[in-house]
Every structure is written in C-alpha cells, then in structure tokens.
C-alpha cells in the first residue's frame, strides 16, 4: 500500500514584510525590511547599519550603529538607538608601529537621563609609560563626561559623529602627550526604556519621508546646477578657480571641470 505524501508547510507563505525605521533623530529613515509571522515577532529584533547609510556622509562609514525594534504599527516597525561600534578594520588601521593604544571604559548619563557605557580609544605616538597612560585615561574621561553630560542624547551623538568631540579631545590631550587620534570605539545604551518615543501616525510618517526625498532631489539639482555653471565658464576662468583652490591647472577643459567637481564633492563631505 502506497504511503500518503506528507504535506510540506511553506514557512514563508504566512509571513509579512515590515519596514524598519530609524528613530526620530535619524528622521525615521527606512533602514531595512524584515519578514515575520506577526507584529509581536518583530518587537525586540536588532538591526545594524553603517552610519553613512543614514547620514549620506561617506566619512561616517566606519560607525556601525545598532537599533532595536520597540513598537510596530501596521507594516512599520519603529526602533530605538541601541549604541554603536567601530569597524575592526578601521581600528586596526589607526594603530601604526611604535604607537600606543589606550582604552577607556566608563558610564555617562546624558541631560535627558539616558545612561550610556562609553568605550573611548586613544592613539598616541611612541610607547608611553603606565603613569602617562593613567593620566591620559583620567583626563579624557573627565573631558568627555564634562562635554556630553550637559547634552541630550541626540546632541551628544551629533558631537561624536561629526568628529567635533574627537578634535577637541585630541587638542586638549596633546598638552599632556602627543595624541594622534581619539575615537569613541563603542557605545552601549544601559537604559533603553528612556529612549522610547511615540511613533508618528501613518500620515505624519509619509510627510516626513516625502520631505527627505524632496531634500535629496534639491541636493541633486544643486549639484547639477554647479556642474552646468562650470560648463559655461571659459578655460581661463576655470584655471583661475583652480588656482584659487591650490589645484593643478593643466589639462583639457573637461579635465578642469572634473577637478573642480571633485573638489566641490570633497568640501561637501
């Protein structure tokens, strides 16, 4: 007697796709999509993206930002900030021969009562003594707490991701010892409940996302206009612009325009 064939259940048939939105500090940008059987299965999921995908700034590609789903409304899953880490390749590239790396680890509370564990990393020229290492670690910890504890989390992250905090720290620490680089290697959020926020309605979300698209289109139009302006200039005028920026003036008109466009792109970053 022939055996009855077993029915194979298609696990994907009953799943729906949910869009993962970054928090309000990142304008609810859609980071990714995830499948799930129900909204409850999406809550608590974690997504990691490089910061440049959210900001459009390629210079921030070494930050891997972590988000956790806190609430699901319809097909939209809203996340909260859960910290970041630097890529391993970038950290390795910072350390050269005869450099010293100093790691710090402390807890900080922001002005809006969010507790964070910060793990800064200092890179200094040459090998240093333990006593110098202790002084640099203590001073950097003090400066970071003084700078960030007065700010809300969103403002503190802006100072970190813009590079302003690292520049100010390196400048101050050079008085103690030649400090080549300061980076916040890792952030962990210790009080995730403090970051819970009420998501926007579907209409508000559409408006916010449409606004982002308009800004992107405007930026593209401005770039196109800049290229058109260069096209309308004569070769002597293009050379004058290149001279003013300290760039080479040799080559054909197309080469000069490309050089100016590249310089404009670098300034924008």
What average pLDDT score do residues 115-120 get? 97
State in Å, rounded, how far the first CA of the chain is from the last one: 73
Residue range(s) occupied by CATH 1.10.720 in the chain = 220-268
Residues 58-108 pLDDT 10s: 989 999 999 999 999 999 999 999 999 999 999 988 888 888 899 999 999
Report residue 140 as tokens: 């950097």
Position 228 scores a pLDDT of: 46
Query: How much is the average pLDDT of 148-161?
Result: 95
Q: How sure is the predictor about 10, in pLDDT bands with cuts at 50, 70 and 90?
A: low
Close Cβ partners of 173 (under 8 Å, ≥ 6 residues apart): 122, 136, 139, 140, 143, 179, 182
CATH 3.40.50.1370 at 88-194, yes or no: no
| Contact of 212 with 156, CB cutoff 8 Å | no
Once rounded to an integer, what is the mean pLDDT over residues 29-56?
A: 93
- 77 Cα distance to chain centroid: 20
Q: Which backbone phi and psi does 206 adopt, to 5 degrees?
A: -60, -40
User: How many Cβ atoms sit within 10 Å of the Cβ of residue 37?
Assistant: 12
**CATH 3.30.479.30 residue ranges for the chain:** 88-194
Q: Which of helix, strand or coil describes residue 200? A: coil
Percent of all residues in the chain with a pLDDT value above 70, rounded to a whole number: 83
The CATH class of the 220-268 domain is: mainly alpha
Which tokens is 95 given? Answer: 């350390």
Q: What is the DSSP letter of 203?
A: H
Pairwise CA distance, residues 38 & 56, whole Å = 32
């Amino acid at each position: 007697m022939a055996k009855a064939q077993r029915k194979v259940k298609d696990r994907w048939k009953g799943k729906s796709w949910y869009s993962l939105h970054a928090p309000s500090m990142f304008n609810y940008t859609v980071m990714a999509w995830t499948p799930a059987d129900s909204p409850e299965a999406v809550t608590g999921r974690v997504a990691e993206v490089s910061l440049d995908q959210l900001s459009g700034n390629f210079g921030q590609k070494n930050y891997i930002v972590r988000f956790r789903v806190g609430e699901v409304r319809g097909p939209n899953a809203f996340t909260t900030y859960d910290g970041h880490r630097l890529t391993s390749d970038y950290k390795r590239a910072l350390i050269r021969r005869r450099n010293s790396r100093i790691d710090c680890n402390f807890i900080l509370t922001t002005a809006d009562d969010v507790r964070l564990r910060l793990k800064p990393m200092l890179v200094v020229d040459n090998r240093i003594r333990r006593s110098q290492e202790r002084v640099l670690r203590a001073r950097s910890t003090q400066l970071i707490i003084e700078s960030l504890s007065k700010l809300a989390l969103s403002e503190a992250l802006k100072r970190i991701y813009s590079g302003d905090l690292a520049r100010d720290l390196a400048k101050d620490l050079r008085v103690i010892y030649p400090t080549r680089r300061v980076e916040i290697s890792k952030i962990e959020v210790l009080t995730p409940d403090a970051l819970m926020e009420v998501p926007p309605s579907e209409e508000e979300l559409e408006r916010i996302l449409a606004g982002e698209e308009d800004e992107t289109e405007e930026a593209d139009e401005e770039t196109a206009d800049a290229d058109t302006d260069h096209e309308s200039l004569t070769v002597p005028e293009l050379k004058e612009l290149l001279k003013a920026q300290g760039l080479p003036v040799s080559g054909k008109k197309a080469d000069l325009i490309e050089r100016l466009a590249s310089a404009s792109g670098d300034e924008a970053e």
